[in-house]
Amino acid sequence: MDNLPFNYRRVMMEMNRNHVSFLLVGGLNYFLAHKPVSTQDIDLLIENSATNRLACEQALIALGAEWGKRDEDWEPVKEKRSGWLWGQSVFCLLTTSGPVDVFLSLPGIPSYSEAMKRSLLHSIEEDLQINLISAYDLLQCQLAIPESNRKIERMRHLREILGNEP
């Protein structure tokens, strides 16, 4: 999958078409809701339920995703047994629409349902609406990771949005 196109619209449409309960997190969320900064993948926090994981598996099959725990396991997800989207907190996949990271949990986010309540419904176009993780939860994610991995400028901006110290 050399020179992958980056088609976040198709990824979001497929997740919606398959009724996947998800929040857009990470750089693309920050790009759409806060500041236009470069992003190289699509980060999704999905509701960690059996039904939702299976719906997400179907969406990833439709997106031509490939994944493997190890190099020797790497293959199209359509070749995997149903239920493969389980057993770790993040899955880094390649799709025909670009790289997608699927998170079943995130540091700093104790509850998907609470994060969903705080999320922002965002219309990308007339026919595409997605939930973006809130500025509060984005900041909590940054605070929960090791200091050396934190995005300091992003944290400063999020604190300004939230009315906290710069």
Tens-digit pLDDT profile for residues 3-15: 445 778 888 899 9
Q: Is the pLDDT of residue 166 over 60?
A: no
In a domain, 3, yes or no: no
In a domain, 2, yes or no: no
What tens digit of pLDDT does each residue of 137-160 get? 999 999 999 999 998 988 998 999
CA–CA distance from 21 to each of 50, 59, 121, 163 (Å)?
A: 12, 12, 13, 29
Q: Which residue has better confidence, 35 or 54?
A: 54
Contacts of 163 (CB under 8 A, 6+ apart): none
The domain total for the chain is 1
Angle between helices 50-62 and 8-17 (to 10 degrees): 130
In a domain, 1, yes or no: no
Are 11 and 63 a contacting pair, CB within 8 Å?
yes
Amino acid at 141: C
In a domain, 65, yes or no: yes
Round the average pLDDT of the chain to a whole number and report it: 87
CATH number of the domain residue 24 falls in: 3.30.460.40
In a domain, 42, yes or no: yes
In a domain, 140, yes or no: yes
What CA–CA distance (Å, rounded) separates 124 from 129? 6
Domain enclosing residue 37, as ranges: 8-162
CA dihedral (77, 79, 83, 84) positive or negative: negative
The per-residue pLDDT for 23 is 83
